[in-house]
Amino acid sequence: MLNIGLVALGVTDVKRAEEFWRAALGYDVREDGFGGWATVLTPPVGSGTKIALQRSQTPPEGHPRVHLDLHVVDAAEQSAEVARLVSIGAERVDWDSYPEDPDFVVLADPDGNRFCIVDLSHEYR
């Protein structure tokens, strides 16, 4: 039976990406060649989604079909996390596809990979 082993992110600077995502998610770095990858970030406790950092010169997509959604419990935590992530190197994305009442904020990591901070308490009206 298949399962998701990890998510691979294309980056131009593996060390910079490692520092950003470790600070963003509190992940640990694993450099033992897990799954054939040189650098894999793993959740600090228990199981969870691993992130492999893959050197790439391909520019990130402006509207990626696949991206990370990072969940928070409410709007206050969303605001705090957006501010924290921007302070460690993320950038706000001038997203042209927000719905009228969005539950997410689009950011980009230092390599331009888009990801969302999603407020799970958001109620659509």
pLDDT, tens digit (0-9, with 9 covering 90-100), for 85-96: 999 999 999 999
Q: Which residue has the tokens 């969303």?
A: 78
Does residue 31 register a pLDDT over 80?
Answer: no
SS3 label, residue 24:
helix
What's the CA gap between 22 and 44, in Å, rounded? 10
* Two structure tokens written together for 121: 């308490």
Whole-prediction pTM:
0.90
SS3 label, residue 111:
coil
According to the model, what pLDDT value does residue 124 have?
64
Short-list 80, 49, 68, CA closest to 10: 68
% the chain with pLDDT above 90: 76
SS3 label, residue 72:
strand
